[in-house]
């Protein structure tokens, strides 16, 4: 369940992001993602196309470069939240990371990701059907959790969005080790908004640079990327 950056439109000012908080969307429903990944799975089986890489390849490179720059051990346990087609896990594996897990609540996404792992001959990557809002006991003790759009999708759910956001923050904290790292990329939320939502369980380590734009004489960013640390 990897939400596309188009949820807020092409120009994503702080005002637009605030509006997105209150506008429900089908992008926040499981039904939407089940249908989307069923189509992508069929396309992959027919022509081998892995489907869309949400936020683009640069978003994956941004996180991988930070992990390498900070000398995160390549055997660190990494959880990809809302793994979608699993291509971010493929990229991590190609960069030498060996302890990788991807979860998604869409069965079609899980099947697609497993098919892609098999094609890439990446037999040591775990792909699991899991809803992070109700994590199983098996999801625990991760060194790093990564979210690239899943929190955005949860925030757009037409039902109980505010409660889901709080439950999400608690769940991410519960699956991380003490002092574990949480790297989140969002197109709907500003830095200050994310920190406000996640302040109870995390503290900021770094804001990652993202492309900026100018509109109406003002400069802004269409994407926010933060590295947070779990509070003990």
Global pTM value:
0.86
Contacts of 88 (CB under 8 A, 6+ apart): 60, 63, 80, 102, 146, 148
Q: Residues 30-47: what's their mean pLDDT?
A: 94
- pLDDT at residue number 55: 66
141 Ramachandran zone, left/alpha/beta (phi>0; psi -120 to 50): left
- Three-class secondary structure of residue 178 per DSSP: strand
Share of the chain above pLDDT 90, in %: 71
- Three-class secondary structure of residue 231 per DSSP: coil
pLDDT at 192 over 50: yes
Confidence band for 17, pLDDT divided at 50, 70 and 90: very low
Most confident of 25-29, 155-159, 168-172: 168-172
Does 189 or 9 have the greater pLDDT score?
Answer: 189
Mean pLDDT taken over the chain: 86
Residue 205 near residue 153 (C-beta atoms within 8 A): no
Q: Residues 90-110: what's their mean pLDDT?
A: 97
């Amino acid at each position: 369940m990897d939400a596309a950056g188009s949820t807020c439109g092409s120009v994503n000012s702080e005002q637009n992001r605030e509006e997105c908080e209150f506008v429900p969307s089908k992008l926040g429903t499981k039904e939407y993602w089940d249908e989307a990944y069923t189509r992508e799975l069929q396309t992959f089986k027919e022509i081998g196309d892995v489907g869309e890489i949400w936020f683009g390849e640069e978003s994956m490179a941004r996180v991988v470069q930070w992990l390498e720059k900070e000398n995160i051990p390549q055997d660190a346990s990494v959880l990809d939240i809302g793994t979608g087609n699993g291509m971010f896990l493929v990229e991590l594996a190609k960069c030498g990371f060996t302890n990788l897990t991807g979860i998604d609540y869409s069965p079609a996404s899980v099947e697609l990701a497993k098919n892609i792992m098999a094609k890439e001959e990446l037999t040591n990557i775990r792909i699991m059907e899991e809803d992070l809002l109700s994590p199983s006991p098996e999801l625990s003790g991760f060194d790093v959790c990564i979210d690239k759009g899943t929190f955005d999708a949860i925030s757009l759910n037409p039902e109980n969005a505010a409660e889901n956001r709080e439950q999400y923050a608690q769940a991410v904290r519960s699956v991380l080790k003490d002092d574990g790292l949480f790297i989140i990329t969002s197109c709907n939320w500003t830095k200050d908004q994310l920190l406000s939502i996640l302040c109870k369980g995390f503290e900021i380590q770094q804001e990652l640079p993202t492309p900026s734009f100018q509109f109406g004489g003002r400069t802004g960013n269409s994407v926010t990327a933060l590295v947070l640390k779990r509070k003990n």
